[in-house]
């Protein structure tokens, strides 16, 4: 990309309309006063091109931007005022930007860390990485699942069939709704991308609730 190469840029996410590339970068920003602070940026992929830091950023790390069909933005942040080390937020779309981020509740957040999320385009399902929970196989990161109910997000459940002694993270569900991709990083080994059939796991998790 023409803007990339001088700073750490990662966590890419392309909006459904193909207009914007959202990503995380430690490049300097007028919004954040902390050096090397990871913030969410976006780059307009179509003419006229434009690179900008989002107004929802803080002086603390932001990660894992996901834009839904409605234009709402979900992301993780280590900003103060949350439940723990890292928490999940939603910022409602407003014009060409976003309103003040809303902290998601304790059903998905905890006193530990939540990161690397995926949210369905219709905002009814969520997969996330959580660290150091008592239900974790690995303290460094396990995959959890939550879905939207009439009373809000359901308590996030560990996807035990996927979680290993290493770190399991970055869940991404294919648009067909059937194939789940995620990263597995064995302790002392190389991280790799793996996949699994999701529908049976999803059905089993929903019965548990």
> Using one digit for the tens of pLDDT, what is the confidence trace for 76-108?
999 999 999 899 999 999 999 999 999 999 999
Give the integer Cα–Cα distance in Å for 25 and 7. Answer: 7
Span 58-77, pLDDT tens digits: 999 999 999 999 999 999 99
The pTM assigned to this predicted structure is 0.94
Element (H, E) at 101: none
Computed over every residue of the chain, the mean pLDDT equals 93
| CB-based contact 39:57 (threshold 8 Å) | yes
Entry field: residues in the chain: 209
Does the pLDDT value for residue 189 go beyond 90? Answer: no
Give residue 53's pLDDT band: very low, low, confident or very high (50, 70, 90).
very high
Domains of the chain: 9-208 (2.120.10.30)
CA distances from 31 to 24, 96, 134, 176 (A): 14, 17, 36, 37
Span 104-147, pLDDT tens digits: 999 999 999 999 999 999 999 999 999 999 999 998 899 999 99
Give residue 5's pLDDT band: very low, low, confident or very high (50, 70, 90).
confident
Question: How deeply is 40 buried, as exposed, middle or buried, from its count of CB atoms within 10 A (0-12, 13-18, 19+)?
Answer: buried
pLDDT at residue 209 in the model: 66
């Amino acid at each position: 990309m023409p803007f990339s190469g001088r700073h750490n840029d990662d966590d890419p996410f392309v909006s459904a309309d193909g207009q914007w590339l959202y990503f995380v970068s430690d490049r300097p920003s007028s919004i954040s006063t902390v050096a090397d602070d990871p913030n969410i940026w976006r780059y307009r992929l179509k003419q006229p091109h434009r690179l900008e830091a989002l107004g929802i950023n803080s002086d603390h790390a932001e990660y894992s931007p996901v834009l839904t069909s409605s234009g709402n933005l979900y992301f993780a942040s280590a900003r103060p005022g949350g439940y723990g080390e890292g928490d999940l937020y939603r910022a409602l779309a407003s014009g060409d930007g976003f309103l003040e981020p809303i902290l998601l509740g304790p059903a998905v957040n905890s006193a530990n860390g939540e990161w690397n999320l995926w949210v369905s385009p219709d905002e009814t399902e969520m997969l996330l990485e959580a660290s150091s929970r008592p239900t974790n196989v690995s303290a460094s990161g396990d995959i959890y699942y939550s879905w939207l109910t009439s009373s809000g997000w359901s308590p996030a459940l560990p996807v035990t069939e996927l979680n290993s002694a290493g770190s399991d993270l970055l869940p991404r569900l294919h648009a067909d709704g059937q194939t789940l991709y995620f990263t597995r990083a064995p302790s002392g080994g190389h991280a790799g991308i793996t996949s699994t059939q999701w529908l049976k796991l999803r059905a089993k998790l929903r019965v548990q609730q």
